[in-house]
Amino acid sequence: ERTRPFCTPLFDTHHPPPANAATTTTTTTTITATLKNLPLSPGSLEPDWGWYDEGAARREAAERLVHNHAAIARFAARGAGKQGMPPVMAPLADPNAVPDDSVVPAVDVMLRWVCHALLSDTGPLDDSVGQSAASLGECVQTQRRKLGAAHTRCASRRTVHDTDRPTIPSSAGVSDEVVASLTYLKDRVGVPRDMQLPAARQLRGHLLWASGKF
């Protein structure tokens, strides 16, 4: 502890003693609530990042999203999709997970708002993002109708079971599906694979902020 003062709080965060389970749960809830409020407060459990400007971190996160936006939106839709076959023990590491293509346009809209927020102040965006989130149900319904029509055309050329035909659920669950997609992306951001630590922290916080608009 004397030689590595930062290791103990970091280790305790991920490996808390059983007696402090309630305290850990409260801490996790507090951290999540804090991340939903932007801008994020400076600081991190990781040392030696004080030299990295918060503005630069937000710009890096936005650049990473824009660089491969179409693939990222579809990747995020795995959160609303189905597990792959064969099943795996760790859902977040499932290489065969199937995304829900019907929510991809809605996820793409929210990721564009996330980029906008990363590059500007979120305050003036709150109302606009909330209105956009409220209108995404029809966006998903339209996409599902298109996918259903395409599936019907394919089915007319072959014999399919009724269970193979896609269903078009009501828009009631659309919010949960988009939030699940944003949460999945938040949990899958890798450091340093995808971006540096400060940028990942900003992206995760902004994804939580966007999820809170539903």
pLDDT digits (tens, 9 = 90+) for 33-84: 545 577 777 665 566 777 788 899 999 999 999 999 999 999 999 999 998 9
Residue 11 pLDDT greater than 70, yes or no:
no
pTM given for the model: 0.69
pLDDT digits (tens, 9 = 90+) for 130-171: 777 777 766 666 666 776 655 444 444 444 343 443 333 334
pLDDT digits (tens, 9 = 90+) for 190-201: 999 999 999 999
pLDDT at 138: 66
Contact predicate 186/73, CB 8 Å: no
| Cβ neighbours, 10 Å, residue 177 | 22
- Average pLDDT (174-198) is 93
Separation in Å, CA 30 to CA 36, 55, 112, 214: 10, 24, 27, 20
Q: By CB neighbour count within 10 A (0-12 exposed, 13-18 middle, 19+ buried), where does 207 fall?
A: buried
